[in-house]
Structure 1
Amino acid sequence: MTLSLRHLAMPFVVGCALVIGASIGRAATPITFDTYPNGTAISAQYLAQGVKFSSFGSPCTIFLDAAEATSSPNILVGVGGSVYRDIDVTMVDPATGLPSAAWRACHVALNVISVGWSAVTVTSFDGAGAVLQSFPLSYPAGPQNGFGKVDHLEFTTPGIAKVSMHFTNVNFGDGIGIDDVLVDFACNTPAQGSTWGRLKQLYR
C-alpha cells in the first residue's frame, strides 16, 4: 500500500469528561493486528480488550503492509479491504460487546499509516458524541502516496467512548490505515494527567 501527509497538526480540545472508575485495573496492551491473516474481517476479535472496530457499520480488514506497518506485517484498513474508508474504534463492555458508561478510556494511542495527499481527521468523542480532541492530517507537499510516513497520535482527555478516522479528502493515489492501537481504561500515572494530546511524526 502506498500512503503519506504534510499535516496541520493542531490538537483541538473541546471538552473533558470524567473517567468512570468501574473499569480501573485493566491493563493496556497494544493491538498489532498481526495474529490474523491478510484479508480477515475485524470487528469483535478484540472484545477482551474492550474494543470493537468498524467501517461504515461493517467490519474493518487486515491489510498486509510489511513495508509500512509499525508492528510488521499487518495494519488495519476499512471495510472490504479499502484503504480509502473511515475507521471507528469503539470502547465497549467486553461482556456484552456494547458501549457502556463504565467503559470509557482515559488514553488512546495509535499510529496512522501512510498519509499523503489524502486528508483525514482523527477525533476522540465522549459518550454523548461531543468532541474531546481532534487531529487533522494532510501532506499536500507529498509524496502523493505518503509511503513510509507514520503519525503517532495520543488522546489523553479522559472519558473516551470512540476514536474515529474520517477521510475529509480522498486522493486515489494515497491510501491510509492504522496500527498499534492502545486503549487504556486505567490511567493512574502522571504522564496521563494532561488534557492536551500529543502528536509526533515518526519517519521510518
Structure 2
Amino acid sequence: MQTKRAGRPPSFDREIALREAARLFWRHGFSGTSTRVLSSALGISSSSLYAAFGTKADLFEEAIRTYALRYSAIYDSAVAEPTVERVIERLLMDSVTEFTRSTEGHPGCLTGSAVMADTSATLNVRKYVADLQDADEARLGARLQRAVVEGDLAATTNVTVLTELVQTLWQGLSARADLGASREELLGVASLALTLLGPTRTKIQ
C-alpha cells in the first residue's frame, strides 16, 4: 500500500498562484486575507501552501516584492533608451500598461492598494515601495543629467525639476489607474503629456 506524498498538486503553477495571492492581498490587505481564503483561491491545501511559500507573511512578502520590482524593471528599460524622448515615452507608456493589467490577472496598481495600509509585521510596505521609488527616481535623474552632458537636453535644463515632473506624471497615472481609469484613457493622457513635452525639450530651464 502506497502512502500519498504531501505537497503541491501536479497542476500547481507557482507564478499563477503568486499572482492570485497578490490579487487578494491587493484587495483585502494582509490581515483581511486569511490562509483559508488563500488556499481556496489557489486550489491547494493549507499544508501545500506552507510547503510552497512558507508562512502567510512569507507569501505576502514575495508577492509584494515580485510586483513592486516590475515597476523598477520598467525604469531599467526606459533609462537604457538612446534619447530623452524615448526614455520618458517608454517610462510612461509601459507604466500605464503595467498599471492597467487587472483584466489579465494582474492585481492592479500597488501604490493605491490595500496593502499600503494593512501590511505584515515583517515588511513595511510603504517604506519598501518608497525606497524603490527613490532609487528609480535617482536613476531617472542620472539618465537626464547624462542627456545634458551629451547635448540631448539643453545645458540650462533643471534636471531636478524635470525629473520631478516626470515622476509626478507617473504618480498621477498610477492614482488614476487605481480610481478605475481605463488603459486607453491613460495612454491618451500619457501621449498628450509627451506631445506637450516634446516641443519644449531643449527649452526646459
TM tier relative to shorter chain = under 0.3
TM-score, normalised to structure 1's length? 0.24
TM-score after normalising by structure 2: 0.24
Flag the structure with more relative contact order, 1 or 2, with Cα contacts below 8 A and sequence separation at least 6: 1
Which one has a larger percent helix, Structure 1 or Structure 2?
A: 2
More strand as a share of residues: 1
